[in-house]
Structure 1
Amino acid sequence: MAVLMSVVYGVAIAWTLKLLYAIWWKPKAIEKKLRKQGIHGYPYKLIYGNTTEMMELAKEKGSEPVEQPHDIVPRINPLLHDLATTHKKSFVVWYGTTPRVAIMEPNLIKEVLNNKTGDFPKPEINSFTQLFVTGLASYNGDKWAKHRKIVNPAFHVEKLKHMLPAFVVCTDEMISKWRKLVNFMGSSEVDMSVEFQNLTGDVISRAAFGSNFEEGRLIFLLQKEQGRLFLQSQMNINFPLLRFLPTKVNKRMKHINREVGSLLTRIIEKREKFIRAGDHKDDLLGLLLKSNLNEVEVNKNSDGGMSMADVIEECKLFYFAGQETTTNLLTWTMIVLSMHNEWQERAREEVLQVFGNNKPDYDDLNRLKIVNMILLEVMRLYPSTSLIRCTKKETKLGDMSLPAGVQLFMPLHIVHRDKEQWGEDVMEFKPERFSEGMFKATKDKVSYFPFGWGPRICVGQNFAMLESKLAIAKILQNFSFQLSPTYTHAPHAAVTLQPRYGAQVILHKLGECA
């Protein structure tokens, strides 16, 4: 018994020391190393890091008025705004026990995003993220390279041209619904964030699954719910052991994960049979599976391609990346064009000049220079999210030596508002910045990266831009619009940047905007 008790005590002491190392000694050691290099921030606090200060500042300053509507950083994250104002180059924020060092200098951003040696991989995902979505965006090393090679052909420009009719069908259905509302009432208030969620969900369902549209839409609705549950789970990020408890959220997330996996497995197996029989369709799933089967044949074994589980995760990623980010881009574009009526008119004139009241084709959409400039400027001011990488070992970055276990984040909301790169009018909506394209809009090319940069640049960026141009062009063809008196401008960072209280816009017949 004495021996057993001594073993128990020994294990307890070892476990306690390991816990103390993880939650106190290691974070304080990293904090000390960063401070020696001039990387400062709020002091690390046990377990919570800076999350308490973050929430307190958000509550205190998050609703304070700002001079310009597009000066949104003080609203969405006052702590980041304070640190970025005090420390112009780099600073650290503690998310629980994890330090995130802000990288804001273009040359360092380029070094991180262009790295091909694996020094700055994506952070490991937690178990909640695994239930929500992984896929290409989460992988590193050989697995990322294999998936990128297989996924790339599905998003080739020539393939996207074949998907445009599916985009048009979904957009026309939305426009037709809006016309009925406006014709009946003379004008109609519409929450654009809800409408565009439905539109982009329909588009990705048709573009990904073609004839399996209804099944695809069911998967979309389940993934949409999973996204909401994922947000709830992030409140417990500092208490990882909670993921093992049979809470209501945990049980529902696991159930949805199984259901989505089952639905996708049936669709994928059925489609693979058709492809092997020579019946191939140019939707995203068909192109992905054809590319995957080709890779298996070239390598003469199944290890050369993706497993069923891998394909399922890529399909789930289609939904999240293809739906969430495009929804946000379209929503913010409608809000901003409602604020800046002169640009709404200029964009409408261009649309009517290029294709009048006819249905646009791919070439027509590429001729919309003003619409393109507007979308690029909206993504500058309202980017969906920031980019995060990490260090697995002590790593050099510029003059800094970063210890293992540090996350590097490139805050787009701040970098896209750097006066040194963009000028004194950085808080203003000025699409003419992009009149000569993305790369000539700033002093340094890597000051604008809404779709990422380097080898990991977003594979779906052409898909998102094509869908967005079409939707905005069709809306401008049919309606004029303005912000509703019920709209409150309150950008809110929740995985992606969203309007906290909705995006209420009043649609009018052309020429009847009040």
Structure 2
Amino acid sequence: MKGFHLLLLLLTTTFVLSIVVKSSKKKLVTTILVFVCPLVLWCFLKNTWLNQWRIRRKLQQQGIKGPKPSFLYGNVWEMQKIQASAANMEETKKMKKTTTNTDEFVAHDYTSSLFPYFEQWRKQYGPVYTYSTGNKQHMYVNHPELVKEMNHCISSELGKPSYITKRLAPMLGNGILRSNGHVWAQQRKIVAPEFFMDKVKGMVGLMVESAESLTNKWESLIGDEYGQTTEIKAEEDLRSVSADVISKACFGSSYLKGKQIFSKLRTLQKAITTQSFLFGSHAFGLQSTGQRRKIEHLEIEIETLIWEAVKERERGPHDDVESKDLLQLILEGAVNNNDDVGGDDSSSKSFIVDNCKNIYFAGHESTAVAASWCLILLALHPQWQERIRDEVAQICGPHGRMDSDSIHKLKTVTMVIQEVLRLYPPAAFVSREALQETKIGHIVVPKGVCLWTLIPTLHRDPDVWGPDVNEFNPERFANGVSKACKMPQVYIPFGLGPRLCLGRNFALVQLKIVVALIVSKFTFTLSPKYVHSPAYRMIVEPGQGVRLLVRRCRE
């Protein structure tokens, strides 16, 4: 950060000059100390405090309030204190809890335990407020009308926050998930067409094949005898299916070939994202040496594995235009990008590796987690399992064979998935940074302000969704999203605006296939060993996995 670098420069300058003072040129050194040190100190204060004070003042003049920040750390210490207090309260509740109540489970407000500072300030200051983390000013925006307005902002106005995405650089490089401006537009031009619905329909066969590998595995674990129940840890199997699909569809390889990449990405994800990930647990966002080395080592390993896969592709045949997958398009895009900007082989390699990392991560992790939440909620509501089972039998026939046409007709499955994504959206936030002064509704947002919209809070707003907001009720989506609530623009499980998730169609079709196949072949409930503990690791996932008691359906 600029402020930290200036402070370091000030301290270094002072140290060096204090040594030189002992030389014969004391007057010259004294003069330098008198003029240079105050200048460096002024630059430091200007970057860490004065600029942010001016931005905060502009927001306050528009009626936007918030917690009072400290001089250097802003509200970071307060956030950490609130987080620690919430963690202690949650632990106390778990110790006192002796039984699992279905209604209590569904109504569980995990935002108050994962992001307690946001919830506490929302209750105190309303759905729009400002706070700071060191030398960065933020604005929490959860007012439905303003969120609706954010949908209309163009990409040059709102981009991904640089201070957050910088921490994700080992995971995402400068790929499509964290880049802005021309770089993002170029990457979107390459990646987006691969996930258009006509392309996704062509992937249905391999999605079904991958999902059937999971059901076959579960059948072998359960055995042939009807009524036999087996406990299954579902989360890793769901990740395997999702990873297999993205590997075959976009990179032309099986999950086994990319298993090392997915495993190391998962390890890197856990290393980067802790509860302090959003605001930094160290002064100026510094990490411990050991943690930094671990992240750097994983980053190198992942890039090496991806580059080996790329070189293998380059050695193989790829002349058939009709059979081009996403990896081939990225390879060609890297060449075109270099021609446009005059880059070298190094920039071409970064372009390829960074976007492969983005697709590998985004293409399988969020979908697998969404599938996990689907199975958890269906385990608690067997009547919806039965409705899905009847629908699949009616549309897909006795053998349950699926194709792109039948999947489109699975209305009950769609309703269930939409309701799960309302209650437990894997993406917790929409995060944006004002790349220029931007007007959202009646608010003028100064350049550099980071905007945060908490998705699960919007999805559980009773003024938008009605009094049954905390109930699992897929029926609310019977007539589509437009009729499910008063303001459908605030249903944003895939984000909003021009940076809406490119893989939305891909994820929804895959979810329909996985959920429909599993439910058509098995009945399941939650295992007594299941512990409900949503955790934030870049996405909101079941913190201690998904344990199900599974048995075969009667033939």
State the TM-score, normalized to the length of structure 2: 0.83
8 Å contact 1:113–1:456 — kept in the other structure?
no
Residues 159-188 of structure 1 deviation map (CA, whole Å, 9 limit, x = unaligned): 223323332232222212211221189222
CA gap 1:395/1:454 in 2 versus in 1, 3 angstroms:
closer
Deviations 1:434-471 (A, max 9, x none): 11112222222311011122322111011111111111
Distance 1:83 1:296 in 2: 44
| Structure 2 counterpart of 1:383, one-letter code | P
Q: Is the 8 A contact 1:274 1:280 kept in 2?
A: no
Distance 1:307 1:506 in 2: 49
Partner of 1:313, secondary structure, is: helix
How do residues 306-385 of structure 1 correspond to structure 2 at under 5 angstroms? 307-355=348-396, 356-384=398-426, 385=428
Q: What amino acid is aligned across from residue 407 of structure 1 in structure 2?
A: C
Aligned to 1:137, the other structure's residue is in SS state coil
Are the equivalent residues in 2 in contact too, given 1:54–1:78 (CA < 8 A)? yes
Map 1:124-139 → 2, pairs under 5 A: 124=162, 125-134=164-173, 135-139=175-179
Q: Which residue of 1 aligns with 2:237?
A: 195
Q: Give yes or no for the alignment of 1:141 onto 2:185.
A: no
What is the distance in 2 between the residues matched to 1:345 and 1:84?
A: 40
Match of 1:266 among 289, 308, 311: 308
Match of 2:196 among 122, 139, 156: 156
Deviation at 1:199, TM superposition (A): 2.5
Q: CA deviation at 1:117?
A: 6.2
Q: Could you tell me which residue of structure 2 aligns to residue 242 of structure 1?
A: 286
Structure 2 residue ranges without an equivalent (≥5): 1-24, 98-102
- In structure 2, the CA distance between the partners of 1:489 and 1:213, relative to structure 1 (3 Å rule), is closer
Assess if the C-alpha contact under 8 Å between 2:158 and 2:432 holds in 1: yes
Residues 1:70 and 2:114 aligned together: no
**Aligned amino acid, residue 425 of structure 1:** D
For structure 1, the residue ranges without an aligned partner over 5 or more in a row are none
Partner of 1:204: 246
Q: Tell whether 2:69 aligns with 1:44.
A: yes
Tell which deviates more after alignment, 503-512 or 365-374.
503-512
Q: Do structure 1's residue 107 and structure 2's residue 132 form an aligned pair? A: no
In structure 2, the CA distance between the partners of 1:290 and 1:349, relative to structure 1 (3 Å rule), is: farther
Paired residue type of 1:255 = H
Deviations 1:35-80 (A, max 9, x none): 3333223321341613223313422444558956334232332332
Q: How far did residue 361 of structure 1 move? A: 1.3
Which position in structure 1 is the counterpart of 2:132? 94
* 1:219 has 2:253 as partner: no
Range that drifts further, 331-340 or 84-93: 84-93
Counterpart of 1:179 in structure 2: which amino acid? E
Deviations 1:230-265 (A, max 9, x none): 12593856434735x7x2222232222223223322
Structure 2 counterpart SS, 1:41: coil
Shifted more, 189-198 versus 266-275: the winner is: 266-275
| Pair 1:287–1:155, CA change in 2 (3 A) | farther
For 1:55 and 1:164, how far apart are their aligned partners in 2? 43
Which residue identity lines up with residue 223 of structure 1 in the other structure?
A: L
Q: Deviations over 1:334-376 (max 9, x none)?
A: 1111112211211121122221333311211111100001101
- Classify the secondary structure of the residue corresponding to 1:136: coil
- AA aligned to 1:70 is A
Q: Please give the residue correspondences for 1:453-468 in structure 2 after superposition, counting only pairs within 5 Å.
A: 453-468=496-511
Task: Kindly provide the amino acid, as one letter, of the partner of residue 322 in structure 1.
Answer: G
* AA of the residue aligned to 2:169: Q
Q: 1:400 and 2:443 equivalent?
A: yes
Q: How far is 1:289 from its partner?
A: 3.8
Matching residue's letter, 1:115: C
Going from structure 1 to structure 2, the CA distance change for 1:99 and 1:70 (only over 3 Å counts) comes to farther
Task: Please state how far the C-alpha of 1:380 moved relative to its aligned partner.
Answer: 0.7
- Once the two structures are overlaid, the 10-residue window that deviates more, 18-27 or 345-354, is 18-27
Match status 1:121 vs 2:159: yes
- Residue 280 of structure 1 deviates from its aligned partner by 6.4
2:476 pairs with 1:433:
yes
For 2:231 and 2:548, locate their aligned partners in 1 and report how far apart those are by CA, in whole Å.
6
Instruction: Encode CA deviations 1:181-216: one digit per residue, 9 max, x unaligned.
Output: 211892222223333223222322222322465442
Cα distance change on mapping 1:291 and 1:155 into 2, 3 Å: farther
2:86 maps to a residue whose letter is A
Whole-angstrom distance in 2 between the partners of 1:428 and 1:199 = 29
1:482·1:507 contact (CA, 8 Å) conserved in 2? yes
**Letter of the 1:239 counterpart:** A
The worse-fitting range, judged by mean Cα deviation, of 68-77 and 435-444 is: 68-77
The DSSP-based 3-state class of the residue aligned with 2:360 is: helix
Residues 394 and 402, structure 1, Cα contact 8 Å, conserved in 2: yes
Structure ID, larger Rg: 2
Which of these residues, 529, 536, 541, is aligned with residue 493 of structure 1?
A: 536
2:120 is aligned to 82
Check 1:9–1:175 CA distance in 2 against 1; reply closer, same or farther (3 A cut). Answer: farther
Q: CA deviation at 1:422?
A: 0.9
**One-letter identity of the residue aligned with 2:206:** A
Amino acid at match of 1:59: A
CA contact (8 A) 1:23 1:47 kept: no
Give the partner amino acid of 1:37.
Answer: Q
Kept in 1, the 8 Å contact 2:477–2:484? The answer is yes
Kindly indicate whether the alpha-carbon contact (under 8 Å) linking 2:434 and 2:445 is maintained by their aligned counterparts in 1: yes
Change (3 A) 1:17 1:177: same
Task: Output the CA distance in 2 between the equivalents of 1:37 and 1:62.
Answer: 36
Percentage of identical aligned residues: 30
Could you tell me which residue of structure 2 aligns to residue 410 of structure 1? 453
Structure 2 CA distance for aligned equivalents of residues 453 and 29 of structure 1:
29
